[in-house]
Amino acid sequence: MPTKSTKVKAKASPSGLNKKQLTHLEKRLLEERARVIKELGHYGESFNSSLQASDGDLSSYSFHMADQGTDAMEREKQFLFASQEGRYLWHVNEALRRLYKAPEKFGRCEQCGESIGFDRLDALPHARLCIKCKAREEDGKRR
pLDDT, tens only, 58-67: 455 556 666 7
pLDDT, tens digit, for every residue of 86-125?
Answer: 899 999 999 999 999 989 889 999 999 899 989 999 999 9
Question: Would you say residue 7 lies in a domain?
Answer: no
Q: Is residue 38 part of a domain?
A: yes
Given this model, what pLDDT does residue 82 score? 79
Mean pLDDT score, 5-34: 74
Q: Which domain holds residue 25?
A: 19-106
Residue 131 lies in a domain: no
- Helices 19-48 and 65-101 cross at an angle (nearest 10°) of 160
Q: Return the C-alpha torsion angle 73, 77, 83, 88, nearest 10.
A: 170
Q: With contact defined as beta carbons under 8 Å apart, do 78 and 49 qualify?
A: no
Predicted confidence band of residue 11 (pLDDT cuts 50, 70, 90): very low
Mean pLDDT of 61-88: 76
At 73, the amino acid letter reads M
